[in-house]
Structure 1
Amino acid sequence: MTNPAVSFEVFPPKTVDAAFKLWDTAQALAPLAPRFFSVTYGAGGTTRDLTHDAAHVLRRTSGLPVSAHLTCVGASVADTMEQAEKFHAAGVTDIVALRGDPQNGEERFAAHPEGFKNSVELIEALALQDKFTIRVGAYPDCHPDAASQHANIQYLKRKFDAGAHEAITQFFFEPKSFLRFRDQCAAAGITKPIVPGILPITNWTSARNFATRCGTKIPAWMEEAYRAAERDGRTELLSTALCAELCSALVDEGVDALHFYTLNRPDLTRDVCRALGVTPQTALSNVA
């Protein structure tokens, strides 16, 4: 089995303690020589400046590419593109272009009156700049707002046609979810890379709730496994085994890159990478 390339998602800190957790995460995972770190963007741009600062610091201290999230929520076209320019000026030339979640607990996404109406418009604007590597989201279990899986895949194709270079999927719990999706995308004429998003489960209740919100299918056997593991105090062992097994199955089916949602908790992700043969290659430099 060839070792897969890896990348890691982190979120920007809002407190001093959270800043230390982010730094610890970077120290733990940067030596694995990831393709990039991605930094999330809060709903409605609530972490816009924090995302910029975290992306800048990660880029400067790790020497690795950083892919900053950018959404359409709560900002005009001018403000969104200004943020993209700030990323570029900070040496962050990779962007994860997303529509973003509905604001303020609303059920449906509502575009800013002067903003991008959807992710395709954002991708087109970024592509016209011709200076960003553009990544986008993809949904193996179908986006909650999509009318069907066919519509879900056609919309992903529109994002690639608009100028996206690569997609990263929402997390999923069984390899068949991604493999089926990959085959469907290929049948639809999508030829650009689609990287599976992997969630090492540090808290089953939180993961289950998030899965419900984003339309990820939860296998009945998994519910039962975590109930038993919680009784026996073995949830960490179960999470490591299940995540490593999921990744190994994907690699066996020809997947050559994995993207981990770390939640700024590096230990489980690092353990899974080790199980896959991804071991430290470099050391994280000191802050300049």
Structure 2
Amino acid sequence: MRNFVLRIHNIVACTRTISFEFFPPKDKSGMIGVLEKIKSLKSYSPDFISITYGAGGYTRRFSEELIMQVKAEHDLEVMAHLTCIGHSVDELDAILRRWDKSGIDNIIALRGDLPKDGFRNSNINSTFQYASDLIKFIDENYSFCIGAACYPECHPESISIEDDLSFAKLKVENGAEFLITQLFYDNDDFYRFVERARSQGITVPIIPGVLPVLSAKQTRRFTSLCGARIPSNLAAKLNKYENDDKSARAMGVDYAIKQVESLWDYGVCGVHFYVLNRSYSVSKILDSLKLDRQLI
């Protein structure tokens, strides 16, 4: 019988959550290192750990292996990522049946990255083209708690903020019980997004995603990929530490402390940290803040 207490939608209803996202290793030898990072952050009592879905078949196997190990050996609730790009409905169904039998309760359903030439000239085998389609399929056939992604500053492929918000709403209508945002560095962008979402009737929990700066180059690359804006005050600091990753990381910790503190004061239901398989920055942030997780 499925444990409904461990569904993220229900966890968020009882406490303000802290969660961490990891990605699978590229090979078997990297598994130990990832598990060590997860173990090092376990002392912060995360409400759940999310494991991303590998871009290729080889790393997808390690995604599943990591999910099962964290669930079974580390007594941590896991949110498994699942993307529909590159999968037939039969393949997706087989994955979901395995996860269901293994006791996975929570899934975040995503589209995944498109091939560089899109669908038109690709041999990619995909039954579903959108995350909303995958969400509907899971909701109609399984009892997982389903999460979805959202974009405070608009998805790079959306034609407008209104258009993007309609896709977020469709995900919820199709069965998503909570949303986790893409990274952002200006909290006002998140606050405006929440206000717009609520005005459109989106009532599910919206968990902000935070990525601490690790280097100037990496931050620019990630924001470029997801369409996030770098505010002028952060841009100046990135320029200052362009060739000094150690100082950039220290600055990133300070910046994230202020960012999370503001989000917590705003009353967010939780914070989801994009760890990038590195525990140092998140440890420093949480040691500094000592967040009260009681509901307000």
TM-score after normalising by structure 2: 0.87
Task: Report the count of equivalent residues.
Answer: 276
Does the 8 Å CA contact 1:196/1:258 hold for their aligned counterparts?
Answer: yes
Deviation at 1:83, TM superposition (A): 0.9
Deviation at 1:48, TM superposition (A): 2.0
- Equivalent residue runs for 1:5-154 within 5 Å: 5-43=17-55, 45=57, 47-103=59-115, 105-106=116-117, 112-113=124-125, 115-154=127-166
> Unpaired segments of 5 or more residues in structure 2?
1-14
Check if 1:258 corresponds to 2:275. Answer: no
The residue number in structure 2 matching 1:187 is 199
Does the 8 Å CA contact 1:44/1:74 hold for their aligned counterparts?
Answer: no
Q: Compared with structure 1, are the counterparts of its residues 238 and 102 closer, same or farther at alpha carbon in structure 2 (3 Å cutoff)?
A: same
Task: Give 2:170's match in structure 1, choosing from 152, 158, 175.
Answer: 158
CA offset digits 1:117-141 (Å, max 9, x no partner): 2111110111113420101100001
Q: Relative contact order, CA 8 A, sep 6+: which one is greater?
A: 1
* C-alpha distance in structure 1 between counterparts of 2:169 and 2:87, whole Å: 25
Q: Compared with structure 1, are the counterparts of its residues 61 and 96 closer, same or farther at alpha carbon in structure 2 (3 Å cutoff)?
A: same
User: Letter of the aligned partner of 1:167 in structure 2?
Assistant: L
The residue number in structure 2 matching 1:282 is none
Deviation at 1:221, TM superposition (A): 2.5
- Equivalent residue runs for 1:219-258 within 5 Å: 219-230=231-242, 234-258=247-271
The residue number in structure 1 matching 2:8 is none
> Unpaired segments of 5 or more residues in structure 1?
280-288
- Which is further off, 114-123 or 184-193? 114-123
User: Letter of the aligned partner of 2:54 in structure 1?
Assistant: G
Query: Match of 2:277, SS?
Result: coil
% of aligned pairs identical? 31
Task: Give 1:170's match in structure 2, choosing from 179, 182, 199.
Answer: 182
Deviation at 1:12, TM superposition (A): 0.7
Does the 8 Å CA contact 2:216/2:239 hold for their aligned counterparts?
Answer: no
TM-score after normalising by structure 1: 0.89
* C-alpha distance in structure 2 between counterparts of 1:26 and 1:179, whole Å: 30
User: Letter of the aligned partner of 2:269 in structure 1?
Assistant: D
User: Letter of the aligned partner of 2:213 in structure 1?
Assistant: I
Does the 8 Å CA contact 1:44/1:73 hold for their aligned counterparts?
Answer: no
Does the 8 Å CA contact 1:76/1:112 hold for their aligned counterparts?
Answer: no
